[in-house]
Amino acid sequence: MRCYASLCNLCVLCVSCGKSKQHHHRDTENTEVAQRNVHAKLSLLMVPEKLFALPLEQQIGQFLFIGLPGTELDAETRALIEEVQPGGIIIFGRNVASPAQLRSLLDGVRELLPIPPLCGIDQEGGLVDRLRRIFTPMPAARTIRQHGDLAAARALGRITGEVLRMLGFNINFAPVMSIMTEDRDLLSNGLYSRSYGRSPGEVLGYTTVYMRGLQGTGCLGCLKHFPGIGAGEVDSHEEMPVVQLSHDDLIAQDLAPYIELFQRRDDRVRCVMVSHGGFPNIDIEKEITGGRLEPASLNYNIVTKLLREELGYKHLVVTDDLEMGAIARHCEIEDAVVRASLAGEDMFLICASPEKIRRGYQGLLEAAKRGKLTQERVQESLERIARTKTIVEPPLPLDLARFQTLSHETIKLNSKLNYVYGGVVK
C-alpha cells in the first residue's frame, strides 16, 4: 500500500502545481493502474489462504495446466474453465490473433476463476515461437550460441519477458536445458535448434543470463526438459525418447547445469518441467518380464528421488504435455495424471483436447475421493502451487507503442545475429 499512497501524493502535488488537464488525466490514469496492480498483488498474496479453503473439486482443478480451443472466450471455452477451474492456462499459436485479442482472452479467463491462474506459453524463439503472428519472430537458441553472444541471450530474455507480461502472461516455459553435442545433432528429437550449447558449461552460461533477462521483467522462467532428453533418438511428441545414459553420466553432463542453478543462493529456479523420456539405466521395473520403462514425468524415482531428494529442488514441478505420443500411446489420460501426481509432480499439462482435460480432471478427483491420492499428497502440491502464485507479478498495461518498440528491438537483434525465420508466418 505504501507504493500506492506515494503515487496518490504525487498526483495531488502535480495538481497543486498547476499541471495541465492533459497531464492531470495521465497522472490519474497512472494512479488507477497502480491501484489495480496493488489490488492484484494483494489478491496474489492471499492465494494460500483462499486455496486451502476451496472445496476438493476446486483444489483438484489447481493441478491442471490446460490449453484453450481457440482465440475467443466463447461458450465452449467458458464452460470448460468453469467446470475444471484450472490452476494454469497455456497458450498456443491457435489462440493468438492480435495483441489486444490475446490480452482480452487471458483477462477474461482470470475473471472467471476464484484463484488467479498461472498463464503460460512456450515462447523460446526459433521453431518454438507462439507469437510470431503478432510479433517479430524471435531468434533460436542455437543461433545465439553459434554467435557466442551472451548479451543476445540476456536481451532475448528481457524482450520476451516484457512482451509476455504486457500480453497477460506470468510464466514462460523456457529455456530448454538440453545439451546438443555434434553426435546428438544427428538425432531426430526436435531439439537441434532449441539448445543453448554443446557442453554443460555452455548451456549453463547462456541459460543463466537468459533467465536473468526474463525474470528481471517479473516473468517466471521454467527449466526443461528434466533430466535431459538431448540424447534421446526420437521426439516425445511422437514416442518416448529413450536415453541410454547412466546416473553418473547424467550427473556429469545433462544434469550439471540444473545442479549449478539449483545450488545458487538467489534461488531463481521456481519451475521445472519434467520430460517424457525413458531412462533404462536409471530406473526400470525389473520385476516385470522384459522390464517396463516408465517415462520420467510419471516416475517417482526421477521426480521425487532424483529431482527433489538427491538434487534438493523444492519448488514447482510440472509435466510436459500429457497428450504427447510418449504418454498417449501407452496410457489413458486418467491414468497418466494420477501416476504423475504419485510421482511427485505438482501440475499437469493437458494442452489440446477439452474432452481429455475433463477426463483428466475427473480422474484426479476420483483418485482423491477414493484415497489413492492422499490428503497429504494433495496438500504438498497445493502448497507449492500457492507459493508460486504468491511471487508472480500482475500483468503490465498493454502499451502498443512499447510493444512495437520491442518488436523493432527484435528486428535489430535478428540482424545482429544474421537470423532469419525460415518458416511461413500464418
Beta strands 171-172; 223-226: pairing state = unpaired
Identify whether the C-beta of residue 179 lies closer than 8 Å to the C-beta of residue 200.
yes
Per the model's pLDDT, the better-predicted residue between 4 and 314 turns out to be: 314
Question: 326 and 240 in contact (C-beta within 8 Å)?
Answer: yes
237 is an active site residue: yes
Choice among 147, 237, 247, 315 that is catalytic: 237
CB contact at 8 A, 426 and 192: no
| Domain regions of the chain by residue span | 1-12+26-45, 56-417
pLDDT at 38: 52
pLDDT for res 165: 98
Q: Model confidence at 148, in pLDDT bands (50, 70, 90)?
A: very high
Residues in the chain: 426
Task: Output the DSSP codes for 59-90.
Answer: HHHTTEEEE-SSSS--HHHHHHHHHH--SEEE
State the alpha helices, DSSP H only, in 17-67. Answer: 21-45, 47-52, 56-61
Confidence (pLDDT) at 229: 78
The runs of H, that is alpha helices, within 147-284 are 150-167, 200-215, 247-252, 256-263
By percentage, how much of the chain surpasses pLDDT 90? 72
Q: How large is the average pLDDT for residues 51-76? A: 96
> CA 408 to CA 175: how far, in whole Å?
23
pTM, to two decimals: 0.88
Instruction: Tell the CATH topology of 56-417.
Output: TIM Barrel (3.20.20)
Neighbours of 49 (CB within 10 A): 9
pLDDT at 235: 63
| Calpha distance 335→359 (Å, rounded) | 10
The DSSP code for 295 is P
Instruction: For residue 248, indicate whether it is catalytic.
Output: no
> Per residue in 25-60, pLDDT tens?
445 445 555 555 555 555 555 677 888 899 999 999
**Mean pLDDT across the stretch 80-109?**
98
Active-site residue (options: 27, 320, 321, 346): 320
Tell whether the model's pLDDT for residue 180 goes beyond 70: yes
Query: Is residue 97 very low, low, confident or very high in pLDDT (cuts 50, 70, 90)?
Result: very high
Q: What is the mean pLDDT of the segment spanning 103-125? A: 97
| pLDDT tier for residue 282 given thresholds of 50, 70 and 90 | confident
